[in-house]
């Protein structure tokens, strides 16, 4: 089955790399993510990835307690660079070519973010991992995903979570909760659905960039999403 999307922006949280560990990177989990991404890469999908740093920063939570917010945010950006490098290395071992572009300049280890170069990498079939968020404190990696997705001309932002979509209530607490198949941006606002943070959500809505919320841990879910099947929840204009 052909892919429904030519170019996507996949948003991965740092916590998605942890598995059941308290913090850090779980290699078996990373291997599973790489395998899923490889499946869609073989369909010819151009893949950009924005990754968070919560899994590494969580290990520094005690030291960061009471820290100035801007300083803590910059530390979090550095954590995303480490995650991006680890993910790129894992892609390399799987036979895929990945490039890391950082919004903070660390030229000795990764490329700086340059929009035209990122698009060229995508057109050449390389996976581009965007690190260091937007490069600014007070903005989340959700906002970075919306921004980079808009800049590279992605057709959709795929928000990878631990839950297989958006539900009417917390499915862990309410067994009767049902999953939304689709929901408009206006409906998501009216129902106070937690899709992305407010800044990222507003940017996606204004740019008419749809969001698909799905579980990265559900076998085959990413493939079904890019093939346009009923997987997760689609948020659209």
Contact indicator for 18, 24 with CB cutoff of 8 Å: yes
Average pLDDT, stretch 196-208?
Answer: 93
pLDDT in tens, 113-159: 999 999 999 999 999 999 999 999 999 999 999 999 999 999 999 99
Q: Does 217 count as an annotated binding residue?
A: no
Tell whether 99 is covered by a domain. Answer: yes
Q: Does 135 count as an annotated binding residue?
A: yes
Domain count, the chain: 1
pLDDT(166) > 60: yes
φ, ψ (nearest 5 deg) of residue 103: -75, -15
Q: Does 134 count as an annotated binding residue?
A: yes
Cα–Cα distance, 92 to 216 (Å, whole number): 20
Domain residues for the domain of 64 are 7-236
Q: Does 170 count as an annotated binding residue?
A: yes
How high is the pLDDT of residue 2?
A: 82
Q: Does 201 count as an annotated binding residue?
A: no
How high is the pLDDT of residue 58?
A: 67
Tell whether 73 is covered by a domain. Answer: yes
How high is the pLDDT of residue 19?
A: 80
Contact indicator for 130, 8 with CB cutoff of 8 Å: no
How high is the pLDDT of residue 59?
A: 60
Tell whether 146 is covered by a domain. Answer: yes
Q: Does 12 count as an annotated binding residue?
A: yes
pLDDT in tens, 74-112: 999 999 999 999 999 999 999 999 999 999 999 999 999
Tell whether 168 is covered by a domain. Answer: yes
Q: Does 19 count as an annotated binding residue?
A: no
Q: Does 31 count as an annotated binding residue?
A: no
The Cβ-side half-sphere exposure at 214, using a 13 Å CA radius, reads 26
Q: Does 143 count as an annotated binding residue?
A: no
pLDDT(206) > 90: yes
Q: Does 95 count as an annotated binding residue?
A: no
Pairwise pLDDT comparison (204 vs 68), residue with the higher score: 204
Tell whether 2 is covered by a domain. Answer: no
Tell whether 203 is covered by a domain. Answer: yes
Strand partners, 134: none
Residue 49 exposed, middle or buried by CB count within 10 Å (0-12, 13-18, 19+): buried
Band of pLDDT at residue 209, cut at 50, 70 and 90: very high
How high is the pLDDT of residue 199?
A: 92
Tell whether 55 is covered by a domain. Answer: yes
pLDDT in tens, 29-78: 999 999 999 999 999 999 999 999 988 876 666 556 678 889 989 999 99
Question: Domain of 162: which CATH number?
Answer: 3.40.1160.10
Average pLDDT, stretch 189-210?
Answer: 91
Q: Does 149 count as an annotated binding residue?
A: no
Top mean pLDDT of 16-30, 77-91, 160-174 is at 77-91
Tell whether 228 is covered by a domain. Answer: yes
| Closest by Cα among 33, 1, 40 to 17 | 33
Average pLDDT, stretch 155-183?
Answer: 92
Q: Does 32 count as an annotated binding residue?
A: no
How high is the pLDDT of residue 171?
A: 84
Band of pLDDT at residue 169, cut at 50, 70 and 90: confident
């Amino acid at each position: 089955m052909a892919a429904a999307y030519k170019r996507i922006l996949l948003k991965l949280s740092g916590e998605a790399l942890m598995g059941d560990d308290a913090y850090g990177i779980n290699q078996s989990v990373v291997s599973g993510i790489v395998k899923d991404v490889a499946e869609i890469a073989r369909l010819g999908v151009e893949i950009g990835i924005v990754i968070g740093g919560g899994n590494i920063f969580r290990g520094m939570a005690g030291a960061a307690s009471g820290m100035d917010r801007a300083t803590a945010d910059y530390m979090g950006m550095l954590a995303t660079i480490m995650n991006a490098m680890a993910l790129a290395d894992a892609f390399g071992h799987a036979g895929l070519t990945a490039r890391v572009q950082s919004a903070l300049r660390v030229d000795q280890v990764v490329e700086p973010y340059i929009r035209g170069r990122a698009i060229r990498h995508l057109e050449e079939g390389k996976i581009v991992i965007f690190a260091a968020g937007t490069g600014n404190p007070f903005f989340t990696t959700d906002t970075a995903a919306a921004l980079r997705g808009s800049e590279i001309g992605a057709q959709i932002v795929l928000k990878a979570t631990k839950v297989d979509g958006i539900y009417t209530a917390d499915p862990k607490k309410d067994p009767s909760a049902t999953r939304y198949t689709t929901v408009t941006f206006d409906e998501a606002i009216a129902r106070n659905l937690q899709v992305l943070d407010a800044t990222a959500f507003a940017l996606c809505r204004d740019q008419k960039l749809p969001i698909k919320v799905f579980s990265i841990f559900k076998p085959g879910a990413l493939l079904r999403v890019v093939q346009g099947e009923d997987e997760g929840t689609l948020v659209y204009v």
